[in-house]
Amino acid sequence: MNQDIKSILIDEKEIQQIVERISKQITEDYKERESNLLLLGILKGSVVFMADLMRNIDLPFEIDFMKVSSYGNSSKSSGKLNITLDIKREDLSNLDILIVEDIVDSGRTLSYLTEYLKQKGAHSVNTVTLLDKPSRREVQFTPTYTGKQIPDEFVVGYGLDYAEKYRYLPYVAILKSEVYSK
Which residues form the interface with Mg ion (CB under 5 A)?
A: 45
HSE, side-chain direction, 13 A CA sphere, residue 38: 23
54 to 73, contacts with ligand IMP by CB under 6 A?
Answer: none
Alpha carbon dihedral 27, 29, 33, 36, in 10-degree steps, equals -50
Residue 5 touches ligand IMP, criterion: CB under 6 A? no
Residue 27 touches ligand IMP, criterion: CB under 6 A? no
160 binds, among ligand IMP, Mg ion, none (CB under 5 to 8 A by kind): ligand IMP
45/107 with CB nearer Mg ion: 45
104 binds, among ligand IMP, Mg ion, none (CB under 5 to 8 A by kind): ligand IMP
154 binds, among ligand IMP, Mg ion, none (CB under 5 to 8 A by kind): ligand IMP
Binding span for ligand IMP by CB under 6 A among 2-10, 20-28, 87-95, 151-159: 151-159
76 to 105, contacts with ligand IMP by CB under 6 A?
Answer: 101-105
Among 18, 100, 160, 169, binds ligand IMP (CB under 6 A): 160
18/155 with CB nearer ligand IMP: 155
- The 3-state secondary structure of the chain, one letter per residue: CCCCEEEEEECHHHHHHHHHHHHHHHHHHHCCCCCEEEEEEEECCCHHHHHHHHCCCCCCCEEEEEEEEECCCCCCCCCCEEEEECCCCCCCCCEEEEEEEEEECCCHHHHHHHHHHHHCCCCEEEEEEEEECHHHCCCCCCCCEEEEECCCCCEEECCECECCECCCCCCEEEECHHHHHC
58/138 with CB nearer Mg ion: 138
Residue 108 touches ligand IMP, criterion: CB under 6 A? yes
- Residues 72/102, Cβ–Cβ less than 8 Å: no
> Catalytic positions, please?
105
Which residues of the shown chain bind ligand IMP in the complex (CB under 6 A)?
45, 101-109, 154-156, 160
